[in-house]
Structure 1
Amino acid sequence: MNIENELFELSRSEQKHRKHHDKSMAYYEHVRKIRVRGKEVYLFAYDNLLKKNTDTFNLSSLNDKPAIILQRHVRYSYVPYHVHDYIELTYVLHGNFSETIEGKSFHLKEGSITFLNTHTIHKIGKTEKQDLAINILIRKEFLSDQIISIFPTQTRLAAFFLNCLSVENDRPDFFVIEKCPDIKPIVLEMMREQKENSSNKVEILDMLMKIFFLRLLRSQTYDIYNSKSSQMTDIIDYIAVNFRSITLDKCAKHFGFSSNYFSYLIHTKTGKTFKQLVLEKKLKYINYMLVNSILPIQEILDNVNISNSTYFYKKFRELNGCSPKEYRLKQKKQIIEK
C-alpha cells in the first residue's frame, strides 16, 4: 500500500469523531483557555502535543527536544477557536479544508497551504474522509540554524517567515498559498519516511524539510495578512531571528542603510545601541536554554557566538543577579516545586 492510500485510512480517533461529532467538544474540557485581543480562546501548547504525539523529529542541533511535529489532521473532529504557542503550516493533500483565521474565511483545496504565526486566532470547519491535510508544527525557539540559513531573505515571503520566527513575535500574522502542487511529493515522502523508521531517517527528513521550505518560498502567488508593523519592528524582528551571527554591517545592508546611519537610527528609535540589542536577544535565548535544555553552559554560549565570556558573565549577573549555573539550578528548582 502506498503512503497516500495509507493516510486515507481512518484512525480510531477519527472513527470516534465520525460517530459522535457533536460530542467532540468534550475533548477540550481540560484544555487551558486564555484571553487574546478580547476573545476567550483555547491555547494549544507544543509541550502538551509532545506528550501525545510520537510523530516528531528533531532538526535542531541546540537541544534535546523535537523541533517539529508532522501529523495528519484529525478528520471529523470539532476544532473551536484557538491559538498556538508554536507556528503551524497546514498543507491540503486532498479534498477541501475550511478555516477561519482572524475573522477571515478560507475555503482551501488540494495544494493549498496556510501558515499561522503564534497567537493567531482561528478555527477549522468539519472535515470528511476525503479531506486530507498534513500539519507541520514548528517550535520556533528550536528551529534549526541550518533551516534558517537557506532562506533567500531578499524575497517578501521569506522575510515574513523569518520575522515570524522571532521568539518575541506573537503578532496574529499569517499567509495563504492557494496552489503549491510541487510540494505534495515532498510531504508524502516525509510522511512515508517518518512511518518506516529506516536508517538515516533524521538526516533524510532534515533534507526533505529544507526542500519543502525552498519550494514553498519560491511561490509566486500568495496572500500575506499581517498586523501593522513599523520599519523598526521589522528591524527588531530581524535581529531576534539572526542574533547568533548578525553584524551591524550585514543588518544595515539588509535594510538598505549605511552602517553609520543605521546605528544612529537604532539608537534614536530604541535608546539602545545595536550591540546592546543583540546582547539582549542572546541573553534571553540563553536564559530559555538554561531552563529548557540539558546542554552544558559553555555549549549554549558557543551556539550563540559569545566570544567575550568575561563581559557576558558580567552582563548576565547584572540582568539575573546570579551566574548562569545558579540561574539554571534556581529556575529548575522552582519548576519542580510547582
Structure 2
Amino acid sequence: MNKQIIEQLRQLTGEEKEILSGLEIDKSRYSTGQNFIVNSDLLLKKGRLIEIRPHTRFVHFPKHSHNYVEMVYMVLGETHHILNDTDEITLKAGELLFLNQNTTQEIMPAGENDIAVNFILLPEFFDEALNMIPEGDLLRDFLISVLSPDSSFLTYLHFPTSDILPVQNLMENMIYTLLYQESETVINTINRTTMGLLLQTLSVYAGLVNQGTPSQYEQNLLLTVLKYIDDHYKHGTLETIAKQTKQPAYYISRLLKKHTGKNFKEQLLARRLQQAAYLLSHTTLTIEDIYTYIGYDNSSYFYRKFKEAYGLSPRDYRLGQPQS
C-alpha cells in the first residue's frame, strides 16, 4: 500500500493518546444506549453512506455489535477478533472481514504496527454493488444474508485475501478516496463502483470464505455444498457432494433445508433457473439452447418450473412483459 496512506493511518488518534495516558474505551464515542451497539449516526458524516476510521490500538475493545455493516481491512500486522462469543479469527495483513448487524465482536489489544481500517457501511451503499453481480452468484447470496439484520446463521464473512493483488489495489483505491477526496458525491459514486468491482473479484474466491474458522464445521460444510451447487448446477448430484464431503446424503440435504429453506434438489433447481433467467436477459440464445445448456432435456418441465419460480414464461421473461 502507498506509504503516504500507511503513515497517515499509523498516526496516533486523539482516542489512542488518551488510552496511552491510562484511560479506557469511552463508549459514549460510539454508542448512546445502555447496550454497547456502535451507532452509525456517531461515525458517519451526514449524507455519506460510507466512512472509514482506523481501528483503535493499545486497548482491549469490549464486546459490542453495530447498527450497520462493518468491513474490516487489515493494512499491516494483525488483529485478533472474537465473534459471537465463540469464533476466534486472527485477521492478517491484506485480509477482509465483513460483519452484519447481528454479529457480536470483541477485539484484543493491537500494537502500534497493527493497522486496521474499519469501514462503516450503510446497507443501501451495496445496492449498486450487488447489481454488478449476477443473480445466483454464491457471494451475492452470502452478502444478502450478511446484509440482512434477520440473518442468524451466516453473520460474518472472513476472506483470506492477502495474496490477491486486485483486492489489495481496490482496497487501496477506496481508502485513498475516503482519506483525500472532499466531494461527498464523488466519494459515494466512486466507492460504490469500486465496491462492485471488489465483490466481483471476491466472488472468484468465494470458496475461501470462513475456511479459517474450523470451530464452525456446520457453517463451513454448508458453504462447501453451496459452492459445489454454484459450480456444478448443470449435472451436480447429491451423491457426489456427499462423497466429496464424507457426509451422508440425507444430512447434507437436511442441512441445506435447515439454513436455506431448500433441500439439495430444490437448491439445484433454483440455481439452474437463476442461470436460465440470466441467459434470457443477457444473451440471444434460443430458449431450447438455454434449457439444454443448464442441464434439462425436457422442455415442458423447464417451462413449468420457470413459470412457477418467476411468474412468467421464459419468452415473456425475456420480453419483460407479463404473460397474457
TM-score where L is the length of structure 1: 0.57
Task: Kindly state the Cα deviation for residue 195 of structure 1 after the two structures are TM-superposed.
Answer: 2.5
Structure 1 stretch displaced more, 66-75 or 97-106? 66-75
Instruction: Trace 1:15-164 onto structure 2 (pairs within 5 A).
Output: 15-20=17-22, 23-24=24-25, 27=28, 31-34=32-35, 42-50=36-44, 54=45, 65-102=47-84, 103-140=86-123, 142-164=124-146
Say yes or no: does 1:213 pair with 2:207.
no
Instruction: Trace 1:227-266 onto structure 2 (pairs within 5 A).
Output: 231=257, 234=260, 260=304
Q: Which amino acid aligns with 2:70?
A: E
Deviations 1:95-137 (A, max 9, x none): 0110001211112211122121211122111111101111222
Determine helix, strand or coil for the equivalent of 1:2: helix
Query: In the aligned structure 1, how far is the partner of 2:304 from the partner of 2:258?
Result: 16
Query: In the aligned structure 2, how far is the partner of 1:161 from the partner of 1:144?
Result: 9
Task: Kindly state the Cα deviation for residue 172 of structure 1 after the two structures are TM-superposed.
Answer: 5.6
Aligned equivalent of 1:5: 7
Q: Which amino acid aligns with 1:45?
A: N
Query: In the aligned structure 1, how far is the partner of 2:276 from the partner of 2:52?
Result: 36
Query: In the aligned structure 2, how far is the partner of 1:144 from the partner of 1:108?
Result: 23
Q: Percent identity?
A: 18
Q: Which amino acid aligns with 2:158?
A: V
CA contact (8 A) 2:70 2:98 kept: yes
Say yes or no: does 1:196 pair with 2:171.
no
Q: Which amino acid aligns with 2:74?
A: V
Query: In the aligned structure 2, how far is the partner of 1:170 from the partner of 1:92?
Result: 26
* Change in 2 beyond 3 A, CA 1:117/1:171: farther
Aligned-pair Cα RMSD in Å: 3.8
Task: Kindly state the Cα deviation for residue 18 of structure 1 after the two structures are TM-superposed.
Answer: 2.3
Query: In the aligned structure 2, how far is the partner of 1:158 from the partner of 1:30?
Result: 30
* Change in 2 beyond 3 A, CA 1:144/1:115: closer
Aligned equivalent of 1:169: 151
Query: In the aligned structure 1, how far is the partner of 2:27 from the partner of 2:101?
Result: 24
Q: Which amino acid aligns with 2:87?
A: K
Query: In the aligned structure 2, how far is the partner of 1:45 from the partner of 1:29?
Result: 6
Deviations 1:81-101 (A, max 9, x none): 111222211111100110001
Q: Which amino acid aligns with 1:150?
A: M
Task: Kindly state the Cα deviation for residue 262 of structure 1 after the two structures are TM-superposed.
Answer: 7.7
TM-score where L is the length of structure 2: 0.59
Query: In the aligned structure 2, how far is the partner of 1:213 from the partner of 1:144?
Result: 10
CA contact (8 A) 1:24 1:77 kept: yes
Query: In the aligned structure 2, how far is the partner of 1:252 from the partner of 1:230?
Result: 22
Q: Which amino acid aligns with 1:185?
A: N
* Change in 2 beyond 3 A, CA 1:87/1:198: closer
List alignment gaps of at least 5 residues for structure 2.
Answer: 223-254, 263-272, 279-294, 296-300, 312-320
Aligned equivalent of 1:223: 210
Determine helix, strand or coil for the equivalent of 2:133: coil
Task: Kindly state the Cα deviation for residue 72 of structure 1 after the two structures are TM-superposed.
Answer: 1.8
Structure 1 stretch displaced more, 219-228 or 101-110? 219-228
Aligned equivalent of 2:226: none
* Change in 2 beyond 3 A, CA 1:46/1:260: farther
Query: In the aligned structure 2, how far is the partner of 1:148 from the partner of 1:66?
Result: 19
CA contact (8 A) 2:57 2:114 kept: yes
Deviations 1:286-322 (A, max 9, x none): xxxxxxxxxxxxxxxxxxxxx9xxxxxxxxxxxxxxx
Count residues with an aligned counterpart. 236
Query: In the aligned structure 2, how far is the partner of 1:211 from the partner of 1:163?
Result: 19
CA contact (8 A) 1:99 1:107 kept: yes
CA contact (8 A) 2:160 2:208 kept: yes
Query: In the aligned structure 1, how far is the partner of 2:30 from the partner of 2:202?
Result: 36
CA contact (8 A) 1:92 1:110 kept: yes
